[in-house]
Amino acid sequence: MANQRLTRPKGFIPRLWDVLRRSKLKTSGFIDDGLPLDGEEGELIDDEACFIDVDYFTTAVDIVARLPPELSIHILTFLDLDSIIACLAVSRIWRIYAQDNAVWRGLFFLRTDWRLDLSRARFSAARTRRVSYVPSVSPELPPLSLDWWLLYKSRTQLDNRWQQGKAKMTRISGHSDSVYCLEFDSKRIITGSRDRAIKVWSLKTGKQLASFRRHTGSVLCLKFDKDWDIDNPFAPGFMVSGSSDCSIIVWNLLANGRRAEVSAILPAHMGGVLDLRIDDKHIVSCSKDTWIRVWDRSTLGLLTTFEGHQGPVNAVGLQGNRVVSASGDGKVMMWDITTGEHLKTFEGHDRGLACIEFKGDLIVSGSNDCKIKVWSASRGECIQTLTGHDQLVRALSFDPVTGRLVSASYDKSIKVWDLNTGKLITEFKNSHVSHIFDVKFDLRRIVSTSHDQKIVVLNFSEGLDTAMFV
pLDDT of residue 62: 82
Ordered by start, the domain boundaries in the chain are: 12-112
Helices (H), 63-113: 63-66, 69-76, 81-87, 92-98, 101-110
- pTM of this structure: 0.84
Q: At residue 336, does pLDDT exceed 90?
A: yes
What letter would DSSP give residue 2? B
pLDDT of residue 13: 53
Q: Is the dihedral of CA 68, 72, 74, 75 positive or negative?
A: positive
Closest CA to 385 of 413, 351, 349: 349
Averaged pLDDT, 346-361: 97
Residues 6 or more apart whose CB falls under 8 angstroms from that of 328 comprise: 311, 312, 313, 314, 352, 353
Q: Hey, what CATH topology would domain 12-112 get? A: Monooxygenase (1.20.1280)
pLDDT of residue 17: 54
Give tens-digit pLDDT for 190-213.
999 999 999 999 999 999 999 999
Rg (CA), the chain: 27
The region of weakest confidence among 6-15, 288-297, 458-467 is 6-15
pLDDT of residue 32: 38
Q: At residue 423, does pLDDT exceed 90?
A: yes
Q: How many helices (H) and strands (E) does the chain have?
A: 8, 28
Give tens-digit pLDDT for 106-136.
999 999 899 998 877 766 666 655 555 655 4
Give tens-digit pLDDT for 58-70.
555 788 888 999 9
How far apart are alpha carbons 20 and 225 in whole angstroms?
54
Task: Tell me which H or E stretch contains 23.
Answer: helix 12-25
Closest CA to 278 of 306, 251, 308, 246: 251
Task: Tell me which H or E stretch contains 8.
Answer: none
Q: At residue 40, does pLDDT exceed 90?
A: no
Helices (H), 37-177: 54-59, 63-66, 69-76, 81-87, 92-98, 101-110, 148-164
More confident call, 123 vs 180: 180
Q: Is the dihedral of CA 82, 85, 89, 90 positive or negative?
A: positive
Give tens-digit pLDDT for 424-433.
999 999 999 9
Residue 12 banded pLDDT, cuts 50, 70, 90: very low
pLDDT of residue 33: 39
Residue 48 banded pLDDT, cuts 50, 70, 90: very low
Q: At residue 42, does pLDDT exceed 60?
A: no
Q: At residue 215, does pLDDT exceed 70?
A: yes
pLDDT of residue 46: 43
Give tens-digit pLDDT for 133-148.
655 445 456 777 889 9
The region of weakest confidence among 105-109, 116-120, 372-376, 403-407 is 116-120
pLDDT of residue 405: 98
